[in-house]
Amino acid sequence: MPTRLKADLALATCALVWGATFVLVKNALADSSVFAFLAVRFILAAIVMAAIFWRSLARANAADIRAGIFLGLVMFGGYAFQTLGLLTTTPSKAAFITGSSVVLVPIFHGIFWKSKIGVMVWIGALAALAGLYFLTVPREGLGRLNGGDLLVGCCAIVFAIHIVCVGHFSPKHSVGALTFFQIATTAGLALAAIPMASVGHLEVAHFHPNEAVVIAIVVTAVFATALAFSIQIWAQQHTSPSHVAILFSLEPVFAGVTSYIWLDERLSGKALGGALLILAGILVAEMKGGAPVAAESPNPGG
């Protein structure tokens, strides 16, 4: 089998795993509070990443650590919004809303670094915005918008900022060190958030490690983060950027398929049209808008 085909299949497998995690996390939240789940997930991910990137960690300097901690602060915000949103929205809707973060990347890059925002970026952004409206806004209007969809929308904004920040820091710092310290920071913040959420009456802390929870923890921490990230780094060296863009855009599609199979989730015609518009916006942003598709950070899937 040609190396390029192996790389494409590897990236498609990563997208499949990332898409399936939305369903797994949704199921796990029936037996775990949000921040307890995130804490265990990212502690395990940090341990695995430390084993993979121990050489990079041994050479890490103070600047690497500071940059990783900063990225971890942003990453934690994205996962907190996303996982809280999954309590009350569906996996496929959460995946398509999260995926729209790609459309925001070139816009934020233009705002932060004063770079030119091309026409195709605005076309992609308008398509995604229209898609978000059809996907999330019910017939009754904005006043009946699902709170979970709104939280995942905040997650998409935060993840777009995270991607821009990763693109800024990664040329100056060790990829392994950045990855480990942002994951470790996310783990620490999630752990600290458990008592704070209880005191603030946001949620009651609980964690029941049944089969659904354990599977979700292992898949999200080991397969969707540590292993998928390592595979992503290798595969992107052996295929074209356009192939990467197309394959990564399949993540919400795989989320929709797995949610349909496992949870019998069905999108209405209006919502499905919105999902297709978001997908079109993602493809335009990734292939024509200059949105970075790089392997400096674990993909912000479920």
pLDDT for position 105: 83
**pTM score, whole prediction:** 0.91
Report the candidate in 85, 74, 104, 103 with the shortest Cα–Cα distance to residue 22: 85
pLDDT for position 22: 95
Burial state string for 279-300 with b = 16 or more CB within 10 A and e = fewer than 16: bbbbbbbbbbbbbbbbbbbbbb
Q: What angle do CA 174, 287, 1 make, to 5 degrees?
A: 75
Distance, CA of 217 to CA of 225 (rounded, Å) = 11
| Widest pairwise Cα distance in the chain | 56
Joined tokens for residue 282: 């993602």
pLDDT tens by residue, 224-266: 888 887 787 777 777 766 667 777 788 899 999 999 999 888 8
Residue pair 78/191 in contact by the 8 Å Cβ criterion: no
pLDDT for position 41: 95
Neighbours of 21 (CB within 10 A): 28
Which position has the token pair 């939305």?
22
Residue pair 263/23 in contact by the 8 Å Cβ criterion: yes
Block mean pLDDT (10 aa), the chain, length 302: 81 89 95 97 94 89 93 95 95 92 83 79 89 85 82 93 84 85 95 93 92 95 85 75 74 91 88 90 74 50 64
- Find the DSSP H helices in 114-268: 119-136, 147-169, 175-199, 211-218, 228-235, 241-248, 251-263
pLDDT for position 141: 67
pLDDT for position 242: 66
pLDDT for position 103: 85
pLDDT tens by residue, 82-103: 999 999 999 999 999 998 888 8
- Three-class SS of residue 69? helix
